[in-house]
Amino acid sequence: MPKNVTLIRSRELSDVAEYAYAATVAADARLVFLAGSCPLDADGRTVAPGDHAGQAARCVENMVVALAAAGATLEDVVSTRVLVASSRQADLVAAWEVVRDAFGDHDVPSTLLGVTVLGYDDQLVEVEAVAAVRD
């Protein structure tokens, strides 16, 4: 079966970024827009307070569950946006490394943002994603 997502790289852009600069989706794929994945447990409590990497890991776990409910996997993700409640670059990098590692070779286009605050008590990280699947 052909891939739903094709990652695009350009020799004219820096290879420092640890992600593809663009992606395309197969014409017969349907798009799945996920809500921001938060570091919440099944009871709605924020996990790993104060731990950017720990919260990023839980965000990825929750994102995998949401993807599965839509019939998708991490390999179907087209792009991500990683939001980190911090003005410290080291905190952003700590969260980013967890997300990047979860995707492995499927290094989708991504945006990493430092934000002032996120919606849940003690929340430091949120991960948004768009995926493409074929039925």
For tokens 């094709």, name the residue.
Answer: 6
Angstrom distance (rounded) from CA 125 to CA 135? 31
Q: Are 117 and 126 in contact (CB under 8 A)?
A: no
Phi-psi region of 111 (alpha: psi -120 to 50; beta: other; left: phi over 0): beta
Q: Which two tokens stand for residue 21?
A: 């600069």
| Contact assessment for residue 53 and residue 84, using Cβ atoms and an 8 Å cutoff | no
CB 53 within 8 A of CB 95: yes
Q: Tens digits of per-residue pLDDT, 83-110?
A: 999 999 999 999 999 999 999 999 999 9
Q: Could you read off the pLDDT of 10-47 as tens digits, one per residue?
A: 888 888 888 899 999 999 999 999 999 999 999 999 99
Is the CA virtual torsion 16, 17, 19, 22 positive or negative?
negative
Bridge partner list, 113: 83
pTM of structure: 0.93
